Amino acid sequence: MTQVRVTKESLLTFATACFAKAGAEATIAKTMAESLLWGDLLGFRTHGMRRLPYNVKQLQSGAARGEGSVQVLNSRAAVETWDANGLPGLFVAPQAVEKACTMALHAGTGTVVVRRCEHVASLAAYLQIATDRGLLVNLMAATPAQSSVAPAGSSSRVFSPNPYAIGVPTNGAPLLLDMSFSVTAAGKIRQAYDRNELLPWPAIVTKTGEITNNPKAYIEEGGAILPLGGADLGYKGYGLCLQSELWTLGLSGYGRAEAVADGEQNTFFVQVIDPEAFAGKAAFVRVAEDLLTRCLDAQPIDSSQPVRIPGSGALANFQEQTERGVLLDELTWPRLQHCAKKLGVESPAVLGL
Amino acid sequence: MTQVRVTKESLLTFATACFAKAGAEATIAKTMAESLLWGDLLGFRTHGMRRLPYNVKQLQSGAARGEGSVQVLNSRAAVETWDANGLPGLFVAPQAVEKACTMALHAGTGTVVVRRCEHVASLAAYLQIATDRGLLVNLMAATPAQSSVAPAGSSSRVFSPNPYAIGVPTNGAPLLLDMSFSVTAAGKIRQAYDRNELLPWPAIVTKTGEITNNPKAYIEEGGAILPLGGADLGYKGYGLCLQSELWTLGLSGYGRAEAVADGEQNTFFVQVIDPEAFAGKAAFVRVAEDLLTRCLDAQPIDSSQPVRIPGSGALANFQEQTERGVLLDELTWPRLQHCAKKLGVESPAVLGL
């Protein structure tokens, strides 16, 4: 059996039980399971349940804390700074978005910067916490112990492939964007390498400064990923990488020098904006829908590929999997079965495909 | 005489006098002159004094208001929304950054969204208002009556070539980034067209969907500018263009449907962040300087081109021109002389080059 479908309820119960067995408090276990589930529902399979065994291992080894709460290092009316000290990002990220929402409803914007949480997985998973309340949200994350993206004009690895996400409410489906400021993600290079394929475009600068689409240059030979904009316009992606790391690591006061042994721990920045505090929610939505309609009405280059609103594909995945069950592919399902056996947790029941 | 240098003091006096003659109140005239001067000092010559005749004309025709103040549409602890109703952006933008600084010092962040100001010229000119006080700043602007950039996968003009700028304080020179979310700016296409040159990379999608570096496709044939990321990764630049217009037009409640007759009027978003409200200014600067040092130490692809911190070239221009006088090139100097004559204002004295 290469891939299966299970109900989202059974998958949530299963993952919650796994995290609890691995040492997480009930609330933490449940929130972690919800965060991974949400990644899968939106179709971000590399950042969904496939990561469950990793999160279990981190809890078991003590690299991730299964209990306790974040330490609030500082706060003002519109901002808070947290030290998660190894709590799972899957648990801390939704809390941070909630807190930012609460501050935004009072101050107009709410910003939370969190250092030292275990890997947050998919940023897209947290956007709807804000958009469901009619709020705009922006998330950035960095991994300060990782270096893989080069500054413009350089062949050295300096930045992590920092993800960037925004969520925007409308009267209908929200706009959900999840991207990185590099030409490609490290996971896509790894996948091309494993499949012995070339990348679809030049994404790597070798140690000697050549630009290539050969994943070997990154995986084996110490090359770096190009910033967004590539060889010609990399100064733009470089600038955005700088912003991402200054707004996360800088504001949290915990940078690359401090984080060398932190593995996949993230530092992230979340900002929520209440449009009601500006020209009003109704005016915001009217302007947003006009703009999105202009995009949808724009002439496609390929008539079979109409222009899409960011997130429309993810939301279609969400809808389909809510109805038909969550798809667990050939890389994920065996891992979950393995975890079930090892932890003595019952596997979720398989639906017909 | 193709180009000249003048002292910045004499240029400021001259431009202030021109704007006053054209109908601007004393404070407005002086602030407008300072904003254009700052653009020139940083080397953004297309967005410095070269625009003076345009601003004079706008004041004279009444398209830009020379007196009055902005209307505050809404406010909360960390945010304000302004309607400039045609006041010059050169006057309103520095005010908005000041106000955002004041709010940030209290609430942690301060955000001002301004609709309907006349063209703001160079966003970079306003960053140091914040960085000089040890604050981070982020500026975005849109021109809702203009359409020139296509959504990813489309050949239609939807967005303006929205500039984006950030400023970051350090213990030494600030980081100053000023870029757009499109593959190139419309001004660069115009310049290549005027010189009968091709663009250095494919930046345009023709009406029939071909990707080209021929400026004619944009200037004469109705093609659109590609979003950052180009033909392959344009969904990233498309997403950033959407953010830019939603955070400006959307929050201001005044979009493309309302602004059709607004010419070059801008809507902009400024956000200032006080690092002292997070992990502290000292910690911020320590992490920022460590990160910037890693960039400066990174291996250059071309050993004669070391990695640069965004803004270092602009600040070198600033230093040089402060010492030697402001350079007014062959496109700018004749225009200023023409204005001087027309308005009966004395031209600034020319220094030796």
- pLDDT the model gives residue A186: 85
φ, ψ for residue B113 (rounded to 5)? -115, 130
Q: What is the largest CA-CA distance in chain B?
A: 55
Indicate whether A198 pLDDT > 90: yes
Closest by CA position to A255, among listed A71, A141, A90, A115: A115
Does residue A183 belong to the interface with chain B, where contact is any CB pair within 8 Å? Answer: yes
Q: Do B287 and A255 touch (CB under 8 A)?
A: yes
pLDDT of residue A231: 86
Distance from CA of B346 to the nearest CA of A (A): 41
Q: Kind of pairing, strands B136-142 and B266-273?
A: antiparallel
Which of 3.30.1370.60, 3.40.50.620, 3.40.50.280, 3.40.50.300 would CATH assign to domain A4-183+226-283+311-343? 3.30.1370.60
Structure tokens at A164: 């960037």
> CB–CB of B103/B12 below 8 Å?
no
Residue A126 makes CB contacts below 8 A (sequence gap 6+) with A35, A38, A93, A94, A97, A120, A137, A139, A165, A270
DSSP-assigned beta bridge partners for residue A113: A81, A269
What are the beta bridge partners of residue A166? A138, A177
Chain B interface test: which of A251, A254, A272, A285 (most B C-beta within 10 Å): A251
Residues from chain B that touch A306, judged by Cβ atoms under 8 A, are 153
Tens digits of per-residue pLDDT, A233-285? 999 999 999 999 999 999 999 999 999 999 999 999 999 999 999 999 999 99
What residue in B sits closest to A184 (Cα-Cα)?
A: B233
Q: Which two tokens stand for residue B139?
A: 């500026």
The structural domains of chain B, with segments of one domain joined by +, span 4-183+226-283+311-343
DSSP line for B117-186: EB----GGGGHHHHHTTT-EEEEEEE-TT---BPPTTB-S--B---EEEEEE--SSSPEEEEEESBSS-H
A264 backbone dihedrals φ, ψ, rounded to 5°: -95, 15
Tell me what pLDDT residue B331 has: 87
> Which two structure tokens, joined as six digits, stand for A214?
């050969």
- Whether A79 sits inside 8 A of B275 (CB atoms) is no
Question: How does pLDDT run across A143-170, given as a tens digit for each residue?
Answer: 999 999 999 999 999 999 899 999 999 9
* DSSP reduced 3-state for A42: coil
CA triple A103-A108-A110, angle to 5 deg: 35
Neighbouring-strand partners of residue B75? B80
Alpha-carbon distance A145 to A127, whole Å?
Answer: 25
ipTM field = 0.97
Query: Bigger pLDDT: A188 or B226?
Result: B226
Angstrom distances, CA of residue B104 to CA of A107, B134, B140: 11, 11, 17
- What distances in angstroms separate CA A32 from CA A13, A54, A165, A270, A278, one per listed residue? 11, 12, 19, 18, 34
- Smallest CA–CA distance from B112 into chain A, residue: A278
